[in-house]
Structure 1
Amino acid sequence: MSDKPKRHLDPQLAEARRAQVINAASDCFRRKGYHAAGMAEISKTAGMSAGHIYNYFDSKEAIIEAIIERDKEEMFSVFNGFLEQPGDLLQIMVDGADDGVEKHLDLERSALELEMLSEAARNEKVAALLAQSDTQARALMKQLMQSERSQIRHLPEHELDARIAVMFSMITGLTMRRVLHPELDKDTILLALNPVLKTLLTP
């Protein structure tokens, strides 16, 4: 007697199905919260059976891990874009704040981020994954600050770490500010944020 083999799809279709589940789960977590959104709700939103979903994810926790990984890859793509883009690094990073502010002012995205942080307070594995992602993001930012094109590459490491902590706090803190202050807009934030970023990115 042999075990029934798990059905395998071609890689592109499998990736598309995984993205379909991740997007559906993200929507459910935003609307109902992680614990209230069961696999039945996720499968209904995704338009596929729960059994089909288990071909791609072993559990609901595995889906939230995939969401964290997706967000991390998106963030790393932005940082790597800063490194690869020629020109004045200071201006490149200040200009890049525009996109970062817009993303953190998106109410749907903000709701999902807050739900993930809330789950991290209860779930050690999710907390560890988020902490690992943050550690890697800070390391990549430090790589930018220590690159040849950076004006602050010669600052002591502890001061670089402090400046990174302030920059990350300002950007990620916009998530909570938008929930509490829905009419807050990007132009208002950038009016004050850009000069602060220039100060943090210069000696």
Structure 2
Amino acid sequence: MRTIDPAKHAARRQHIVHAASELFATQGFERTTTAQICKAAGMSSGNVFHYFPNKRAIFIALLQDDKDAKTERLARAATEADPWTALLDVVQFLAAPAAEPLAPPLVMEAMLQAHRDPELAELLSQDSTAEHTVIAELLTKAAATGQIDPDLDPDNTASWVMALIASMYTSAATEASFDPAGQLPTLLLILQRFLRGEPHAHRRSATTEEQRTGGSAVT
């Protein structure tokens, strides 16, 4: 019986996934054929099917490609001593791939396919839940340490944070002029001002000064 080299086996699987990624991103799942994947990978169909039973398995492997690294990164963030810094790091970590050319269309295609594939929908839901849990936990800790507005509900706020991250991908996929890398600092600034309530405090101070002087406060 031939011994399987785990490293070589994983490398072959990764090669197939990488070859399929551009096809899925540019053509979509439905219009991409196994023959096209085999050609892009430079492998026979028998070789490809040795590593994946079908096209769907390749697509799921692509979407789960970084799952272990993401799980480790989120787990590490949840234990950081400074929850505010950890939160911003998590947001940047989750949003940064939107700047990669293939990531936004693949995310959009995954969302489309999830409506047709309950198993895929469950996998995406698990990923989303894991992200939401860590973000909500960091928000709770940040509120407890006085780093953000304590009146914000952690679960609801985590949902809004994730919605803003998701908008990076949808905007990149649908708007040719949208620059995810250039917009990331703006996303972080929006979160900072929303979560910490800094501009609200500034406006209250300005309003108080205007009322006291009867005119416009100098800012």
Using structure 2 for the length normalisation, give the TM-score.
Answer: 0.75
CA contact (8 A) 1:30 1:112 kept: yes
The DSSP-based 3-state class of the residue aligned with 1:27 is helix
What's the offset of the Cα at 1:60?
Answer: 1.3
Using the alignment, how far apart are the partners of 2:33 and 2:144 within structure 1?
48
Deviation by residue 1:47-87 (Cα, 9 ceiling, x = unmatched): 2111111122111111122122224334323323424555x
Instruction: Flag the 1:140–1:96 CA change in 2: closer, same or farther, 3 A.
Output: closer
Secondary structure at the residue paired with 1:58? Answer: coil
The total of aligned residue pairs comes to 193
For structure 1, which runs of at least 5 residues remain unmatched after alignment?
none
Distance 2:194 2:75 in 1: 20
- The structure, 1 or 2, with the larger RCO (C-alpha pairs under 8 Å, 6+ apart) is 1
- Calculate the TM-score normalised by the size of structure 1: 0.80
Q: Residues 96 and 139 of structure 1: is their aligned pair in 2 closer, same or farther, counting only changes over 3 Å? A: closer
The answer to whether structure 1 residue 18 and structure 2 residue 13 are counterparts is yes
Match in the other structure for 2:68 = 73
**Mapped contact 2:87–2:138 kept (Cα < 8 A):** no
1:143 Cα deviation after fit: 3.5
Equivalence for 1:41: 36
Match in the other structure for 1:89: 83
Alignment of 1:174-189 (within 5 A): 174-186=168-180, 188-189=182-183
Residues 68, 129 of structure 1: 8 Å contact kept: no
8 A contact 2:74–2:90 mirrored in 1: no
The residue that corresponds to 2:52 in the other structure is 57
Distance 1:42 1:187 in 2: 30
AA in 2 matched with 1:66: A
Q: Secondary structure at the residue paired with 1:29?
A: helix
Letter in 2 for 1:17: R
Indicate the residue corresponding to 1:109 in structure 2.
103
Query: How far apart in 1 are the matches of 2:138 and 2:54?
Result: 37
What's the CA shift string for 1:138-183, capped at 9, x where partnerless?
A: 123334334xxx3224869x92110110010001111111233323
114, 121, 143: which is aligned to 1:152?
143
What RMSD over aligned residues (CA atoms) do the two structures have, in Å? 2.7
Ranges of 4+ aligned residues in structure 1 off by more than 4 Å: 153-156, 199-203
Distance 1:153 1:15 in 2: 44
Partner SS, residue 183 of structure 1 = coil
**Quick one: structure 1 residues 195 and 164, their matched pair in 2 at CA, closer, same or farther if it must change by over 3 Å?**
same
CA distance in 1, matches of 2:89, 2:10: 32
How far 1:185 sits from its partner (Å)? 2.8
Question: Relative to structure 1, is the Cα distance of residues 163 and 77 closer, same or farther in structure 2, using a 3 angstrom cutoff?
Answer: same
Counterpart of 1:121?
A: 115
Deviations 1:11-59 (A, max 9, x none): 1111111111111121211122101111111111112111111122111
What CA distance in whole angstroms lies between the structure 2 residues aligned with 1:140 and 1:93? 9
In the alignment, structure 2 segments of 5+ residues that lack a partner are 198-219
